[in-house]
Amino acid sequence: MHILKSFLSISLVFLFVSCNNNSNAASGESNKSSDGIQWMTFEEAVHKAQTDPNPKNIFIDFYTDWCGWCKVMDRKTFADGNVIELMNKYFYPVKFDAEGKETVEFMGKEYGFVASGRNGYHQLAAEIMQGKLSYPTFVFLTPEFQIITPIAGFVPAEDFEPIVNYLGQNLHENAKDNDWENYKSNYKRGQK
């Protein structure tokens, strides 16, 4: 009986911690765990881009709760050690629920949820994704909030890593000397 009580106590503690972690993610709080991508809210990324002396580019993962490929990205691509290292090094990484209900202020304008169809959408997601609401979609922005490029759909870690490295180091700014196709074909996993 003592073993069963201990097991139940441990299970309840685990359940409480799991529920707490899930509620933090759902409420938009940052994930500050030290062993993964250091996700932040959109507002935190904007603040960092505006206040850091050497600001990084911004990466936004637009996802929805019902999106199966979004979950695969989380489990596989965003859990890859090389991807984690590059994302934390070169970007302010943001996870943004494209159907979230919270109001976000950006560039003097308020963006919120719009009820439409079965699920609706968040106005900021629609604006940044230029109305192309498919999930997952990843948008890379400069620190001045200019779109570098959007990428739609699941991307395996081995394909995502060179993209993050290329854009994180701003090699796209001089594409004449740093041609993407040449860069990608010569890229080795773990390259920094």
State how beta strands 91-97 and 57-63 pair.
Answer: parallel
Confidence of residue 188 (pLDDT cuts 50, 70, 90): confident
Q: Quick one: pLDDT at residue 2?
A: 39
Q: Is the pLDDT of residue 165 over 90?
A: yes
User: pLDDT for 103-142, tens place per residue?
Assistant: 999 999 999 999 988 889 999 999 999 999 999 999 999 9
Residue 140: other Cβ atoms inside 10 A: 21
Is 25 a residue whose pLDDT tops 80? Answer: no
| Model pTM above 0.75 | yes
Average pLDDT over residues 40-59: 97
Task: Give the pLDDT score at 127.
Answer: 95
Residue range 5-11: mean pLDDT, rounded:
34
Torsion of CA 176, 179, 182, 183, to 10 degrees: 120
* Domain assignments of the chain as residue spans, ordered by start: 38-186
- The pLDDT, as a whole number, for residue 118 is 87
Distance CA 62, CA 60 (A): 6
pLDDT of 13? 32
Architecture of domain 38-186: 3-Layer(aba) Sandwich (3.40)
Average pLDDT over residues 145-156: 96
User: What does the pLDDT look like over 26-44, one tens digit per residue?
Assistant: 334 444 445 799 999 999 9
The angle at the Cα of 67, spanning 64 to 69, to the nearest 5 degrees, equals 125
Average pLDDT over residues 86-102: 97
